[in-house]
Amino acid sequence: MTRDDSRLDAILAVLISYARQDFSTRVAVSERRDEIDAIATGINILAEELDGEVASRRELESAYARLQTTQAQLLVAEKFAAVGQLANGVAHELNNPATWVLLGITTARRRVANACNLTGEALAHELAAAEQVLSDVHAGMERIRTVIGDLRALSRVDAATPVELDLEDVIRSACQLARPAYLSVARLVLDLGGVPSIRGDRGRLGQLVTNLIVNAAYAVAEEAAQHEIVISTRVDGEHVLLAVEDSGPGIPDELFERVFEPYFTTKPSEVGTGLGLALVRKIAERHGGTARATRGTRRGARIEVRLPRAGPRTCSAVEPCPVSTTPVSGTATRRARVLLIDDEPMLLGALVDSIGGDHDLVTALGGEAAREVLARDRAFDLVLCDLQMPNVDGVAIHDALAKDVPELLSRLIMMTGGAVTPRAAQFLEKVQPRIVGKPVDIDGLLALVRDAAARRP
């Protein structure tokens, strides 16, 4: 092999390493300055350029990965910021009815105490007044339960199994939560067209609607005039159209598409992050839909979201299904035998007071006590069990029944105020038991108990 052959082999080896994306080696250049040296010099210059380009590309890829991570974190931050902005309003919505509940209970106790010293017409009058006060207390608690339910739905923003749902029900809940944002700056108008159900994640869609309302409220907040925010729904072919329109200054035509870009905002930095509408589009696209901005009929902005229609509505086993509160014919006086399991003694006592007069109840204070009861007594028409309890929770009770008393599984109903642990959430997702939400709707619960009694042979 000649010296030139060796030099050419060295050049070939370097080129092979370059083909493998390794630009660290260089071709040796001799003092002869011949044609082979000229080729080697050119290869070395090319390697320097390629090495720099590869380093730049890697740096860009790293920067892009960091940008994606930051954007994801900011989207999460925007979600929590929106909830934070609504926190004071939610507290207001809870504190108002809580105040009249507490005052009402105090008043009712006073009237009942007074009634103990009365007779005849005066007694009847005092008891009627106490009954009216307690009716107001009940209305206050129903309002509190509604607010809690709305907030719970909004907080369900994890990747959840899509369910068929009523978009207009989601809209009403979002309006309640976003009320503090628009109350002092605009009149909210609902123009709902009775659209078909859609399929999706209620929590994410609640966030979508809430962001649209808050965005519209910001758009009109700086103007002195009283404005309107109009939320409308319509059927649009195979889609459901949701539109939120305000009477504010509007969006310039050239910015219609940019408003959905992450970080783009026309609001001051202390007011918005520029991710609210970006999150709206992201949620819409995850549901197979679209989001676009246009000019509204009230000179302001109009944001339109199109979502695919669902098929016939079905009831998810994880969501509380509506039950009839009408007694089954011939079973109104039939008594059911019910096992109540909860670690909260006051709740157990309240349930006994509410349904114990018409049915036979056995109570267990916590999961351990429930195990002891079930070890000696299994003759129950219904087992009503709290999902989250210390030590032995509702999941453990379910598993114990599945192993030892499988015939009771179909009679098991879980009570829950929300799955706050991964274990509970996984159980609800996998098993999909029948559930009763807290605060408990007594009429609905009584209907379930009556139904259990009617099914007994």
Give the angle subtended at the CA of 125 by the CAs of 121 and 130, to the nearest 5°.
150
Question: Are 243 and 225 in contact, with CB atoms under 8 Å apart?
Answer: no
Q: Identify the pLDDT of residue 316.
A: 42
- Among the residue ranges 242-251, 330-339, 361-370, the one predicted with the least confidence is 330-339
pTM of the entire predicted model: 0.51
Q: Which amino acid is located at 211 in the chain?
A: N
Read off φ and ψ for residue 25, nearest 5 degrees: -95, 155
For all residues of the chain together, what is the average pLDDT? 80
Highest-pLDDT range among 14-18, 156-160, 238-242, 310-314? 238-242
How deeply is 253 buried, as exposed, middle or buried, from its count of CB atoms within 10 A (0-12, 13-18, 19+)?
A: exposed
Other beta carbons within 10 Å of 32: 11
d(CA 452, CA 157): 34
**How far is the first Cα of the chain from the last one, in angstroms, to the nearest whole number?**
101
Burial of 337 (0-12, 13-18, 19+ CB in 10 A): middle
Q: Hunting for tokens 């966030």 — which residue is that?
A: 207
| Residue pair 297/245 in contact by the 8 Å Cβ criterion | yes
pLDDT at 100: 77
Separation in Å, CA 271 to CA 18, 132, 214, 259: 52, 45, 11, 15
* Segment holding 242, helix H or strand E: strand 239-246
Report yes or no: 230 and 245 within 8 Å, Cβ to Cβ.
yes
Q: How much is the average pLDDT of 132-152?
A: 78
Enter the CATH code of domain 158-308: 3.30.565.10
Helix (H) / strand (E) containing 351: helix 345-355
Residue 255 φ then ψ, to 5°: -105, 5
Fold of 337-455: Rossmann fold (3.40.50)
pLDDT in tens, 25-56: 777 777 676 777 778 787 778 777 777 776 77
Q: What is the mean pLDDT of residues 332-356?
A: 87
What pLDDT score was predicted for residue 232? 96
Percent of the chain with pLDDT over 90: 27
Domain ranges (residues) in the chain = 1-155, 158-308, 337-455
Structure confidence at residue 160 (pLDDT):
58
pLDDT for residue 330: 44
From the CA atom positions of the chain, what is the Rg in Å?
A: 33
